[in-house]
A and B are shown apart, each in its own frame.
Chain A
Amino acid sequence: MAELIVEACGLAYCYPGGIPALAGLDLAVARGRRLAVLGPNGAGKTTLLLHLNGTLRPAAGRVLVAGGELGYTRAGLAEWRRRVGLVLQDPDDQLFAATVAEDVSFGPLNLGLSEREAGERVAEALEALGIADLAGRATHMLSFGQKKRAAIAAAIAMRPEVLLLDEPAAGLDHGGTKRLVAVLERLAAAGTTLVFTTHDVDLAWSFADEVALFDAGRVRRQGAAAEVLADREALAAVGLEPPLLLELGFRTREEAVAGRALEFDAVALNRIPTPPSGH
């Protein structure tokens, strides 16, 4: 089995007011993998990510990074943040500096790097995200997609081993999502472990190699993307449906089994009702 880079064991956490968010959650992330945490809105996916980088401290359970607990001391958290980066859903929650380059330099300087080294990291991160031309641009004058890429650049400039992304494609149009996936592909190819939350099964299908189905504070099922996303019952249990391509495959097979001729009719296809859950 591949080395586990992040592991959550029996995590429990309640929001203020006693509302349970995590209820004995277990999750294992192998080094170099791309794990999609899939679940409906409001299931607590963001809360899970905030535990995985030490922002929130669980009421019970523990988080291991490369097999060890880093602890919630100042030094422990500094090490944790160096190794596990986080990109929030709304880039405006991360971008605080006047210009893109200044914002991206914040993390590397906090690592204690010299200005020269930090400058190199900034240039490298901006280049990786394809936004080197935006270095001097005011952060409040960027488009949403540009802000998103700047926020990711700010995280990867710290060269984390694991990058946590909260709903990375939320708010992006089709082109923006394609650019984002291309960036994530490059990061994954460079060896960064990626964990991202989403409710978009198609994004998980096209990009993740592993999927964890998350609902009611627990991981209901974790496994290879192709297997989990083909499990209609498991998906239906967390309020999701298979990716469109898989659904099409299922229907094609059903038609073939029934001995009906396969015909392509866009209008008719558009009117086919979605099969009931667990079909």
Chain B
Amino acid sequence: MTLFIDRLAQAGRWRRRATADKVVLALGLLLLAISLPPWPGAALVLAVAWGAALFGAGVPPGDWLRLNAAPLGFALTGAAALAVEWSDGGVHLAADHGVRAALVVLRTAAGASCLLLLAATTPTPDLLRGSRRVGLPAEIAEVALLTWRFLFLLLDAAAAIRAAQEARLGWQGWRRSLRSLGLLVAMLLPRAMERARRLEIGLAARGFNGSLPMLSPVRPVSPAFLVAALGGEAMVAGVSLWLS
């Protein structure tokens, strides 16, 4: 069992690119999306983030749209309240003709795209390794890494239990589904505990003494990529300020 976003990150064109490269690009754009005026700043950031994801990282367009659907839907729902107003006993378009709502959606979409660009091109362990290099305590990184690994094992276990329940008509109708879901969740806890105990045995057999030393892959930073990323961001900032 794999998570959709993890699958994209593992199989993507930028999988082996240095985390620092991708962080500079994505978080730099995020900073611009927050600090520049939504028009045209956020719109430019949005375009660059989508371009980087689709043409640079090679994220399949359908997958990219699917990734963006949830935050975009959330932003649209929230902005709807800004686009209309209640007056004279009815609902009318806001006095600003929905401009404020559109700008909120634009900024939200731009910010979400920047974070999704990073998430869809960088596996979680790479981010944890990068965080360690900039000062995240080893203990926290190790616990996060184990939690991440455990997530997939639990998803496997949940999928197997659900398949077994479905095979015996456990998910027909909401009442049965609710009961099966409750049983599934109740089953997962003891399984997780048992799995943790066996993992401890496995670690002990290889000399575990409280820390998890590993040889992490070294991926050199690409100066060309960094120059391009920073240059692109400077251009977005310049054009945005000039136009506004």
Where the two chains meet, the residues of A that have a C-beta atom closer than 8 Å to any C-beta of B are 50, 53, 55, 74, 77-78, 81-82, 85-86, 88, 90, 92-99, 101-103, 105-107, 109-111, 115, 118-119, 122, 136, 138-141, 154-155, 158
Q: B203: CB under 8 A from chain A?
A: yes
Q: Which 7 A-B pairs have the closest CB atoms?
A: A98-B125, A110-B207, A105-B215, A94-B202, A107-B206, A86-B205, A109-B213
Give chain A residues whose Cβ lies under 8 Å from the Cβ of B206.
81, 85, 94, 106-107, 110, 154-155, 158
B153 adjacent to A106 (CB under 8 Å)? no
Report B185-227 CB contacts with A as 1/0, cut-off 8 Å. 0000000000100110111111111001111110000000000
Interface residue from A81, A94, A97, A140 paired with B145 (Cβ < 8 Å): A97
Give chain B residues whose Cβ lies under 8 Å from the Cβ of A77.
204
Q: Interface on chain B toward A: helix, strand, loop, or mixed SS?
A: helix
B205 adjacent to A55 (CB under 8 Å)? yes
Give chain B residues whose Cβ lies under 8 Å from the Cβ of A122.
215
Q: B2: CB under 8 A from chain A?
A: yes
B145 adjacent to A98 (CB under 8 Å)? yes
Most chain A CB atoms below 10 A, which of B124, B126, B198: B198
Give chain A residues whose Cβ lies under 8 Å from the Cβ of B215.
101-102, 105, 109, 115, 118-119, 122
A98 touching B213 in the complex, CB below 8 Å, given contacts A53-B205, A139-B149 = no
A111 adjacent to B205 (CB under 8 Å)? no
Give chain A residues whose Cβ lies under 8 Å from the Cβ of B126.
98
A50 touching B201 in the complex, CB below 8 Å, given contacts A110-B213, A138-B10 = yes
20 sample A-B contacts, Cβ–Cβ < 8 Å, listed by A number: A55-B204, A86-B205, A92-B153, A93-B202, A94-B199, A95-B149, A96-B199, A96-B203, A97-B145, A98-B125, A101-B217, A102-B214, A103-B214, A105-B215, A109-B214, A118-B215, A136-B16, A138-B123, A140-B1, A141-B10
A8 to B198, CA, bound (A): 23
Give chain B residues whose Cβ lies under 8 Å from the Cβ of A55.
201, 204-205
A158 adjacent to B212 (CB under 8 Å)? no
A96 adjacent to B213 (CB under 8 Å)? no
18 more contacts with CB within 8 A, not counting A81-B206, A94-B206, are A53-B205, A77-B204, A81-B205, A82-B207, A86-B201, A86-B205, A88-B202, A96-B212, A97-B125, A103-B214, A106-B203, A106-B213, A111-B207, A136-B16, A141-B2, A155-B205, A158-B206, A158-B207
A139 to B215, CA, bound (A): 15
CB distance from A54 to the nearest CB of B (A): 9
Most chain B CB atoms below 10 A, which of A118, A136, A140: A140
A50 to B204, CA, bound (A): 11
CB distance from A65 to the nearest CB of B (A): 14
Task: Classify chain B's interface size.
Answer: 20 to 34
Where the two chains meet, the residues of B that have a C-beta atom closer than 8 Å to any C-beta of A are 1-2, 6, 10, 16, 123-126, 145-146, 148-149, 152-153, 156, 195, 198-199, 201-209, 212-217
A31 to B45, CA, bound (A): 66
A141 to B1, CA, bound (A): 8
A139 to B123, CA, bound (A): 12
Most chain B CB atoms below 10 A, which of A81, A85, A102: A102
CB distance from A166 to the nearest CB of B (A): 10
Q: Which residue on B lies nearest to A53, using beta carbons?
A: B205
Q: Which residue on B lies nearest to A118, using beta carbons?
A: B215
Give chain B residues whose Cβ lies under 8 Å from the Cβ of A139.
149
A82 to B207, CA, bound (A): 8
Give chain A residues whose Cβ lies under 8 Å from the Cβ of B149.
95-98, 139-140
